[in-house]
């Protein structure tokens, strides 16, 4: 296999097919747009070929501009078919419950796309599915996020969950001028500037049987997707895994040694010792994660401190303000001004 995926984040070429088809119908400049992002149509004939994730995300963003469709990702997701995701799509479409479909998406998504934070957990009678591109520097990524959440929900709904709806839908990006299309599609409240991207479902609804599954077909599909995953899976260092879990959990609850150790299947003291061996700690890793997110958001002109506080897991903007100054020696406003950002909220106090 091409070793590209072991060096940089990638996505399978098959994910690009609906985008290319939409560009062919709408702009007539598909090949030129592909070339801008270092891609050739001839490279994409094999659905299992790999494309750099950053180029794919940037292509989606520019395609939305070229097609004058700010909801391109949503529209692509609305028309998602199980065949678009290959064997993974078929596996989702045959799931006996909505929850099991999301379990499979969480388990096998990396066969389709690397460097994605994806997880499923139950919180207060809710089943929460999370998706986020791991690298915060790949930004903006509105179209990828809306396409992924809409496409996943479309596959789940078309497979038997037609009478279900999320309790809420969360997006990490800012609210668009018109959110009605998203609310109409999901039939649920849609929140923006959230810590990450999530679909929140009633656990009872998510666990309700929607079909009897062919277990032999499931075994064949899982074997095939598992083989694809194995070809690109490399050994993940403990430190890397901790960093991934921080990205999944921050903003939805407290990130603690006990919680991370439970997920990793080791004792909390063991995790602390292993981090110490690597000259770090959970506190330092949390700080590094927050610094990286801040760099990315300020660099993209995202300067709403209240939103950033929530994204970074702080109780409010004031706590964020104090913590930021304690480890950076400057204030968020000063850093924002150094980067040339402009506020979008009131100018008085920490939220300015």
Model confidence at 342, pLDDT cuts 50, 70, 90, reads: very low
Rg (CA), the chain: 21
pLDDT value, residue 174: 92
132 versus 211: which is more confidently predicted?
Answer: 132
Q: Kindly state the tokens that stand for 348.
A: 């008085």
Tell me which residue of 336, 312, 292 sits closest to 136, measured CA to CA.
Answer: 292
pLDDT category of residue 64 using cuts at 50, 70 and 90: very high
pLDDT of residue 207 exceeding 60: yes
Q: How far apart are CA 91 and CA 156, in angstroms?
A: 11
Domain ranges of the chain: 3-206, 238-338
Mean pLDDT (the chain, rounded): 84
Instruction: Give per-residue pLDDT as tens, 215-250.
Output: 888 888 888 888 877 766 544 578 887 887 887 778
Domain 238-338: homologous superfamily in CATH: Homeodomain-like (1.10.10.60)
| Dihedral, 283, 286, 290, 292 alpha carbons, nearest 10 | 110
Evaluate if residue 256 carries a pLDDT over 80. Answer: yes
10 or 169: which leads in pLDDT: 169
pTM of the shown model: 0.74
Task: Render pLDDT for 104-115 as a digit per residue (tens, 0 to 9).
Answer: 999 999 888 988
Please determine whether the domains at 3-206 and 238-338 fall in the same fold group of CATH.
no
Q: Which pLDDT band, with edges at 50, 70 and 90, does 305 fall under?
A: confident
Give the list of residues 6+ apart from residue 279 with CB closer than 8 angstroms, or none. none
Indicate the burial class of 268 (C-beta count within 10 angstroms; 0-12, 13-18, 19 or more).
middle
User: Is the preceding peptide bond at 140 cis, omega within 30 degrees of 0?
Assistant: yes
Q: What is the 3-state secondary structure (H, E, C) of 289-317?
A: HHHHHHHHHHHCCCCCHHHHHHHCCCCCH
CATH for 3-206, options being 3.90.600.10, 3.30.70.20, 3.60.15.10, 3.90.1520.10: 3.90.1520.10
The most confident of 13-27, 59-73, 263-277, by mean pLDDT: 59-73
pLDDT in the model for residue 335: 72
């Amino acid at each position: 296999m091409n070793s590209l995926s072991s060096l940089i984040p990638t996505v399978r070429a098959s994910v690009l097919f609906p985008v290319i088809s939409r560009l062919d119908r709408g702009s007539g400049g598909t090949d030129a747009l592909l070339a801008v992002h270092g891609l050739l149509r001839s490279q994409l004939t094999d659905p299992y070929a790999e494309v750099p994730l950053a180029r794919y995300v940037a292509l989606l963003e520019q395609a939305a501009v070229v097609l004058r469709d700010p909801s391109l990702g949503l529209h692509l997701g609305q028309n998602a078919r199980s065949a678009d995701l290959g064997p993974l799509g078929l596996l989702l479409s045959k799931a006996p419950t909505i929850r099991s479909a999301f379990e499979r998406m969480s388990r096998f998504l990396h066969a389709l796309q690397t460097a994605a934070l994806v997880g499923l957990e139950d919180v207060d009678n809710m089943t929460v599915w999370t998706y986020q591109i791991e690298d915060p520097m790949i930004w903006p990524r509105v179209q990828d996020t809306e396409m992924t959440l809409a496409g996943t929900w479309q596959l789940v709904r078309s497979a038997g969950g037609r009478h279900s709806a999320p309790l809420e839908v969360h997006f990490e990006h800012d609210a668009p001028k018109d959110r009605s299309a998203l609310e109409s599609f999901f039939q649920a409240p849609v929140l923006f500037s959230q810590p990450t991207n999530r679909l929140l479902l009633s656990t009872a609804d998510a666990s309700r049987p929607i079909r009897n599954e062919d277990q032999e077909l499931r075994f064949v599909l899982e074997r095939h997707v598992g083989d694809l995953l194995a070809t690109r899976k490399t050994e993940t260092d403990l430190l890397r895994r901790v960093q991934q879990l921080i990205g999944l959990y921050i903003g939805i609850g407290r990130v603690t040694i006990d919680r991370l150790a439970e997920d990793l299947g080791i004792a909390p003291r063991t995790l602390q010792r292993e981090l110490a061996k690597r000259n770090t700690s959970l506190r330092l890793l949390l700080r590094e994660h927050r610094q990286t997110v801040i760099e990315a958001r300020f660099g993209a002109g995202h300067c709403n401190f209240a939103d950033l506080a929530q994204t970074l897991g702080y109780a409010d903007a004031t706590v964020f303000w104090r913590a930021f100054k304690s480890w950076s020696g400057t204030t968020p406003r000063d850093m924002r001004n150094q980067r040339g950002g402009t506020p979008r909220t009131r100018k008085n106090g920490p939220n300015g």
